[in-house]
Amino acid sequence: MSDGALLEVRDLSVVFDGFRAIDGIDLTVQHGELRFLIGPNGAGKTTLVDVITGLTKPATGTVRFEGADLVGRKEHEIVRMGVGRTFQTSVVFEKLTVVENLDLAASFRRPLWSLIRRRRGVSDAVAAAMEITGLDVLAERPAGVLSHGQRQWLEIGMLIAQGPRLLLLDEPVAGMSADERSRTGQLLTEIAKDHTVIVIEHDMEFLRRYASQVTVLHEGKVLTEGSVDEVRADPLVQEVYLGRAREDAAVVPEEHAAAVATTAGEVT
Ligand SMILES: Nc1ncnc2c1ncn2[C@@H]1O[C@H](COP(=O)(O)OP(=O)(O)OP(=O)(O)O)[C@@H](O)[C@H]1O
Ligand SMILES: [Mg+2]
Protein backbone atom coordinates (compact mmCIF):
# COMPACT_ATOMS: atom_id res chain seq x y z
CA MET A 1 0.00 0.00 0.00
CA SER A 2 1.39 3.40 -0.91
CA ASP A 3 2.18 5.91 1.85
CA GLY A 4 -0.77 7.71 3.34
CA ALA A 5 -3.44 6.10 1.12
CA LEU A 6 -6.65 5.52 3.05
CA LEU A 7 -8.47 3.83 0.18
CA GLU A 8 -6.95 1.84 -2.66
CA VAL A 9 -9.22 0.36 -5.33
CA ARG A 10 -7.44 -1.87 -7.83
CA ASP A 11 -8.61 -3.46 -11.07
CA LEU A 12 -12.24 -3.34 -9.95
CA SER A 13 -14.95 -4.75 -12.18
CA VAL A 14 -18.66 -5.24 -11.59
CA VAL A 15 -20.79 -7.27 -13.98
CA PHE A 16 -24.61 -7.22 -13.98
CA ASP A 17 -26.01 -9.97 -16.23
CA GLY A 18 -23.06 -9.73 -18.59
CA PHE A 19 -23.01 -5.89 -18.56
CA ARG A 20 -19.78 -4.37 -17.18
CA ALA A 21 -21.05 -1.49 -15.01
CA ILE A 22 -17.49 -1.08 -13.67
CA ASP A 23 -14.66 -2.07 -15.94
CA GLY A 24 -11.21 -2.12 -14.36
CA ILE A 25 -11.21 0.90 -12.06
CA ASP A 26 -8.13 1.97 -10.07
CA LEU A 27 -8.68 4.72 -7.49
CA THR A 28 -6.42 5.96 -4.71
CA VAL A 29 -7.67 8.37 -2.05
CA GLN A 30 -5.27 9.79 0.51
CA HIS A 31 -6.02 10.55 4.17
CA GLY A 32 -7.79 13.90 4.52
CA GLU A 33 -8.82 14.30 0.86
CA LEU A 34 -12.12 15.79 -0.28
CA ARG A 35 -12.45 13.91 -3.57
CA PHE A 36 -15.21 14.56 -6.08
CA LEU A 37 -16.46 11.81 -8.36
CA ILE A 38 -18.30 12.95 -11.48
CA GLY A 39 -19.46 11.40 -14.73
CA PRO A 40 -22.55 11.08 -16.92
CA ASN A 41 -25.59 9.06 -15.81
CA GLY A 42 -24.79 5.37 -15.72
CA ALA A 43 -21.01 5.96 -15.50
CA GLY A 44 -20.78 3.62 -12.50
CA LYS A 45 -20.40 6.17 -9.69
CA THR A 46 -23.04 4.72 -7.36
CA THR A 47 -21.97 1.18 -8.20
CA LEU A 48 -18.41 2.04 -7.14
CA VAL A 49 -19.71 3.32 -3.79
CA ASP A 50 -21.89 0.19 -3.50
CA VAL A 51 -18.81 -2.01 -3.87
CA ILE A 52 -16.72 -0.02 -1.39
CA THR A 53 -19.53 -0.28 1.19
CA GLY A 54 -20.20 -4.00 0.66
CA LEU A 55 -23.61 -3.68 -1.01
CA THR A 56 -22.43 -5.09 -4.34
CA LYS A 57 -19.88 -7.82 -4.97
CA PRO A 58 -17.28 -7.13 -7.65
CA ALA A 59 -16.37 -9.67 -10.34
CA THR A 60 -12.68 -8.82 -9.95
CA GLY A 61 -10.46 -6.52 -7.96
CA THR A 62 -9.63 -5.34 -4.47
CA VAL A 63 -10.78 -2.47 -2.25
CA ARG A 64 -8.24 -1.76 0.48
CA PHE A 65 -9.20 0.50 3.37
CA GLU A 66 -6.32 1.20 5.75
CA GLY A 67 -4.69 -1.87 4.22
CA ALA A 68 -7.58 -4.30 4.83
CA ASP A 69 -9.50 -5.71 1.85
CA LEU A 70 -13.20 -4.84 2.10
CA VAL A 71 -14.33 -7.22 -0.65
CA GLY A 72 -16.40 -10.06 0.79
CA ARG A 73 -17.14 -8.25 4.06
CA LYS A 74 -20.68 -7.54 5.24
CA GLU A 75 -22.05 -3.97 5.07
CA HIS A 76 -22.27 -3.55 8.86
CA GLU A 77 -18.72 -4.81 9.27
CA ILE A 78 -17.49 -2.16 6.81
CA VAL A 79 -19.40 0.53 8.73
CA ARG A 80 -17.72 -0.65 11.93
CA MET A 81 -14.35 -0.44 10.22
CA GLY A 82 -14.98 3.28 9.68
CA VAL A 83 -16.61 3.63 6.25
CA GLY A 84 -19.97 5.43 6.10
CA ARG A 85 -22.20 6.40 3.17
CA THR A 86 -25.37 8.19 2.25
CA PHE A 87 -27.74 6.97 -0.45
CA GLN A 88 -29.16 8.79 -3.48
CA THR A 89 -32.54 8.46 -1.74
CA SER A 90 -33.17 9.45 1.85
CA VAL A 91 -33.16 6.89 4.68
CA VAL A 92 -34.06 8.80 7.86
CA PHE A 93 -36.78 7.61 10.28
CA GLU A 94 -39.54 10.18 9.74
CA LYS A 95 -41.41 9.66 13.03
CA LEU A 96 -38.26 9.91 15.15
CA THR A 97 -36.86 13.31 16.09
CA VAL A 98 -33.60 14.67 14.75
CA VAL A 99 -31.77 13.80 17.97
CA GLU A 100 -33.32 10.30 18.07
CA ASN A 101 -32.20 9.63 14.49
CA LEU A 102 -28.68 10.77 15.37
CA ASP A 103 -28.69 8.73 18.56
CA LEU A 104 -29.78 5.62 16.70
CA ALA A 105 -27.01 6.11 14.13
CA ALA A 106 -24.43 6.64 16.90
CA SER A 107 -25.63 3.56 18.80
CA PHE A 108 -24.34 1.42 15.97
CA ARG A 109 -20.88 1.64 17.47
CA ARG A 110 -21.84 1.56 21.15
CA PRO A 111 -21.61 -1.55 23.31
CA LEU A 112 -24.95 -3.24 24.01
CA TRP A 113 -25.02 -2.44 27.75
CA SER A 114 -25.07 1.27 27.01
CA LEU A 115 -28.14 0.80 24.81
CA ILE A 116 -30.04 -1.15 27.45
CA ARG A 117 -29.30 1.40 30.16
CA ARG A 118 -31.47 4.46 29.55
CA ARG A 119 -29.10 7.36 28.99
CA ARG A 120 -29.56 10.93 30.06
CA GLY A 121 -28.59 13.74 27.72
CA VAL A 122 -26.93 13.22 24.38
CA SER A 123 -23.64 11.48 23.74
CA ASP A 124 -20.58 13.43 22.59
CA ALA A 125 -20.90 11.88 19.13
CA VAL A 126 -24.51 13.10 18.78
CA ALA A 127 -23.69 16.56 20.15
CA ALA A 128 -20.79 16.89 17.70
CA ALA A 129 -22.95 15.76 14.77
CA MET A 130 -25.65 18.32 15.69
CA GLU A 131 -23.17 21.10 16.03
CA ILE A 132 -21.34 20.54 12.74
CA THR A 133 -24.58 20.21 10.75
CA GLY A 134 -26.29 23.12 12.57
CA LEU A 135 -29.19 20.82 13.46
CA ASP A 136 -29.05 21.55 17.19
CA VAL A 137 -31.91 24.07 16.81
CA LEU A 138 -34.07 21.32 15.25
CA ALA A 139 -33.13 18.57 17.72
CA GLU A 140 -36.66 17.82 18.94
CA ARG A 141 -38.42 18.04 15.55
CA PRO A 142 -39.57 14.83 13.89
CA ALA A 143 -37.39 14.13 10.84
CA GLY A 144 -40.56 13.93 8.71
CA VAL A 145 -41.12 17.71 8.91
CA LEU A 146 -37.60 18.70 7.83
CA SER A 147 -37.00 20.47 4.52
CA HIS A 148 -35.15 18.56 1.82
CA GLY A 149 -31.87 20.28 2.69
CA GLN A 150 -32.24 19.73 6.42
CA ARG A 151 -32.93 16.06 5.78
CA GLN A 152 -29.71 15.72 3.81
CA TRP A 153 -27.81 17.40 6.64
CA LEU A 154 -29.43 14.99 9.08
CA GLU A 155 -28.21 12.07 6.99
CA ILE A 156 -24.72 13.51 6.92
CA GLY A 157 -24.98 14.08 10.69
CA MET A 158 -26.05 10.45 11.16
CA LEU A 159 -22.93 9.37 9.31
CA ILE A 160 -20.70 11.59 11.41
CA ALA A 161 -22.30 10.25 14.60
CA GLN A 162 -21.03 6.81 13.57
CA GLY A 163 -17.47 8.11 13.73
CA PRO A 164 -16.31 7.09 10.24
CA ARG A 165 -12.88 7.90 8.84
CA LEU A 166 -14.16 7.72 5.26
CA LEU A 167 -17.49 9.25 4.20
CA LEU A 168 -19.08 8.55 0.83
CA LEU A 169 -21.85 10.97 -0.17
CA ASP A 170 -24.01 10.22 -3.20
CA GLU A 171 -25.26 13.49 -4.73
CA PRO A 172 -25.80 15.38 -1.46
CA VAL A 173 -26.89 18.67 -3.10
CA ALA A 174 -29.32 17.18 -5.64
CA GLY A 175 -32.62 19.07 -5.42
CA MET A 176 -31.27 21.71 -3.04
CA SER A 177 -31.79 25.47 -3.28
CA ALA A 178 -28.78 27.71 -3.98
CA ASP A 179 -28.61 28.66 -0.30
CA GLU A 180 -28.76 25.03 0.82
CA ARG A 181 -26.03 24.16 -1.68
CA SER A 182 -23.61 26.70 -0.30
CA ARG A 183 -24.38 25.63 3.26
CA THR A 184 -23.70 22.03 2.23
CA GLY A 185 -20.44 23.07 0.55
CA GLN A 186 -19.32 24.73 3.78
CA LEU A 187 -20.40 21.68 5.74
CA LEU A 188 -18.34 19.37 3.50
CA THR A 189 -15.32 21.64 3.82
CA GLU A 190 -15.73 21.56 7.60
CA ILE A 191 -16.15 17.78 7.70
CA ALA A 192 -13.11 17.29 5.45
CA LYS A 193 -10.90 18.92 8.09
CA ASP A 194 -10.92 15.70 10.09
CA HIS A 195 -12.40 13.10 7.75
CA THR A 196 -11.67 11.78 4.29
CA VAL A 197 -14.66 12.45 2.04
CA ILE A 198 -15.69 11.17 -1.39
CA VAL A 199 -18.58 13.12 -2.93
CA ILE A 200 -20.50 12.14 -6.04
CA GLU A 201 -21.77 15.32 -7.62
CA HIS A 202 -23.03 16.56 -10.98
CA ASP A 203 -23.26 20.29 -10.35
CA MET A 204 -20.29 22.03 -11.97
CA GLU A 205 -20.73 25.31 -10.12
CA PHE A 206 -20.61 23.37 -6.87
CA LEU A 207 -17.42 21.62 -8.01
CA ARG A 208 -15.79 24.90 -8.96
CA ARG A 209 -16.40 26.27 -5.49
CA TYR A 210 -15.61 23.29 -3.30
CA ALA A 211 -13.65 20.60 -5.16
CA SER A 212 -9.91 20.23 -5.33
CA GLN A 213 -9.30 16.72 -6.74
CA VAL A 214 -11.81 15.33 -9.22
CA THR A 215 -12.09 11.83 -10.71
CA VAL A 216 -14.20 11.49 -13.86
CA LEU A 217 -15.87 8.15 -14.54
CA HIS A 218 -17.30 7.17 -17.90
CA GLU A 219 -18.74 3.80 -18.94
CA GLY A 220 -17.31 2.08 -15.90
CA LYS A 221 -13.77 3.41 -16.35
CA VAL A 222 -11.73 6.28 -14.94
CA LEU A 223 -11.63 8.78 -17.79
CA THR A 224 -9.32 11.24 -16.07
CA GLU A 225 -8.29 12.70 -12.73
CA GLY A 226 -7.04 16.12 -11.66
CA SER A 227 -8.05 19.57 -10.46
CA VAL A 228 -11.40 21.02 -11.52
CA ASP A 229 -9.67 23.20 -14.14
CA GLU A 230 -7.55 20.33 -15.49
CA VAL A 231 -10.56 18.06 -15.77
CA ARG A 232 -12.70 20.71 -17.49
CA ALA A 233 -9.94 21.42 -19.98
CA ASP A 234 -9.45 17.73 -20.80
CA PRO A 235 -10.53 17.00 -24.40
CA LEU A 236 -11.75 13.52 -23.40
CA VAL A 237 -14.06 14.99 -20.76
CA GLN A 238 -15.34 17.58 -23.20
CA GLU A 239 -15.98 14.87 -25.77
CA VAL A 240 -18.01 12.79 -23.30
CA TYR A 241 -20.17 15.74 -22.27
CA LEU A 242 -20.22 17.55 -25.62
CA GLY A 243 -21.02 14.30 -27.39
CA ARG A 244 -24.03 13.87 -25.13
CA ALA A 245 -25.10 17.47 -25.67
CA ARG A 246 -24.89 16.98 -29.46
CA GLU A 247 -27.10 13.89 -29.24
CA ASP A 248 -29.55 15.89 -27.13
CA ALA A 249 -29.43 18.75 -29.66
CA ALA A 250 -30.49 16.34 -32.40
CA VAL A 251 -33.75 15.57 -30.65
CA VAL A 252 -34.73 19.03 -29.37
CA PRO A 253 -36.48 21.72 -31.42
CA GLU A 254 -34.20 24.29 -33.08
CA GLU A 255 -34.83 27.14 -30.63
CA HIS A 256 -33.81 24.86 -27.75
CA ALA A 257 -30.80 23.50 -29.63
CA ALA A 258 -29.13 26.93 -29.40
CA ALA A 259 -29.49 26.84 -25.60
CA VAL A 260 -28.03 23.32 -25.51
CA ALA A 261 -25.09 24.48 -27.65
CA THR A 262 -24.30 27.37 -25.30
CA THR A 263 -24.28 25.13 -22.25
CA ALA A 264 -22.50 22.28 -24.04
CA GLY A 265 -19.12 23.29 -22.62
CA GLU A 266 -20.47 22.85 -19.11
CA VAL A 267 -19.64 19.57 -17.44
CA THR A 268 -22.78 18.63 -15.54
N1 LIG B 1 -28.44 -3.78 -9.70
C2 LIG B 1 -28.22 -3.53 -10.99
N3 LIG B 1 -28.55 -4.42 -11.94
C4 LIG B 1 -28.31 -4.20 -13.24
N5 LIG B 1 -27.72 -3.07 -13.72
C6 LIG B 1 -27.38 -2.14 -12.82
C7 LIG B 1 -27.60 -2.32 -11.42
N8 LIG B 1 -27.12 -1.20 -10.77
C9 LIG B 1 -26.64 -0.40 -11.72
N10 LIG B 1 -26.79 -0.95 -12.95
C11 LIG B 1 -26.35 -0.37 -14.22
O12 LIG B 1 -24.96 -0.06 -14.09
C13 LIG B 1 -24.64 1.16 -14.72
C14 LIG B 1 -24.02 2.10 -13.72
O15 LIG B 1 -25.01 2.51 -12.80
P16 LIG B 1 -24.73 3.51 -11.62
O17 LIG B 1 -25.99 3.60 -10.84
O18 LIG B 1 -23.50 3.10 -10.90
O19 LIG B 1 -24.44 4.87 -12.40
P20 LIG B 1 -24.21 6.33 -11.84
O21 LIG B 1 -22.91 6.81 -12.40
O22 LIG B 1 -24.39 6.35 -10.36
O23 LIG B 1 -25.40 7.13 -12.56
P24 LIG B 1 -26.36 8.32 -12.05
O25 LIG B 1 -25.60 9.59 -12.30
O26 LIG B 1 -27.55 8.20 -12.93
O27 LIG B 1 -26.67 8.11 -10.59
C28 LIG B 1 -25.95 1.69 -15.32
O29 LIG B 1 -25.99 1.31 -16.68
C30 LIG B 1 -27.01 0.97 -14.51
O31 LIG B 1 -28.17 0.81 -15.27
MG1 LIG C 1 -25.74 7.25 -9.11
**pLDDT tens sequence across 137-163:** 999 999 999 999 999 999 999 999 989
Mean pLDDT of 31-47: 94
Give 49-69 pLDDT, tens digit per residue.
999 999 999 999 999 999 999
Lowest mean pLDDT among 26-30, 116-120, 160-164: 116-120
**Total-model pTM:** 0.86
How far is the centre of ligand 2, averaged over its atoms, from the C-alpha of 221 (Å)?
14
> Best mutation site among 14, 19, 37, 47 for ligand 1, i.e. most ligand atoms within 8 A of its Cβ?
47
Closest CA to 198 of 106, 91, 86: 86
Domain boundaries along the sequence of the chain: 5-233, 237-268
The bound ligand whose nearest atom lies closest to the alpha carbon of 217 is: 1
Closest CA to 188 of 153, 149, 226: 153
* Helix 124-133 and helix 178-191, axial crossing angle in degrees, nearest 10: 140
Residue 114 has pLDDT above 60, yes or no: no
**Architecture of the domain whose range is 5-233:** 3-Layer(aba) Sandwich (3.40)
% of the chain surpassing 90 pLDDT: 67
Residue 198 has pLDDT above 50, yes or no: yes
**Residue 51 near ligand 1, beta carbon < 6 Å:** no
Give 67-88 pLDDT, tens digit per residue.
999 999 999 899 989 999 987 6
**Residue 16 near ligand 1, beta carbon < 6 Å:** yes
Ligand 1 nearest-atom number relative to CA 48: 18
